[in-house]
């Protein structure tokens, strides 16, 4: 996973895909990519937001930081 990807929703989808398809835990993913487990979990939680909010994040109308 490229940590230079700005769009946090793309990161969230990648984290979730790794977890679901390859049985990677968030803790082990944290160790591999060098960010905290809570950061990963909070990023994945973005996927549960309403589509209009997700679009605002993509359009950079709503800043995202963990």
Express each pLDDT in 13-47 by its tens digit. 999 999 999 999 999 999 999 999 999 999 999 99
Q: Does any domain span residue 65?
A: no
| pLDDT over 60 at 2, yes or no | no
**42 exposure class (CB count in 10 Å sphere: 0-12, 13-18, 19+):** middle
Question: Which pLDDT score, from 0 to 100, does residue 15 have?
Answer: 95
Is 2 within a domain? no
Considering its fold, how many domains does the chain have in total? 1
User: Which range marks the domain in which residue 31 is found?
Assistant: 8-58
Give the Cα separation of 54 and 49 in Å (integer): 6
């Amino acid at each position: 996973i490229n940590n230079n990807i700005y769009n946090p929703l793309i990161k969230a989808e990648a984290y979730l895909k790794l977890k679901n398809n390859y049985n990677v835990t968030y803790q082990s993913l944290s160790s591999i990519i060098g960010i905290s487990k809570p950061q990963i979990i909070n990023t994945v939680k973005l996927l549960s937001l309403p589509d209009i909010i997700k679009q605002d994040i993509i359009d950079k109308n709503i800043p995202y930081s963990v």
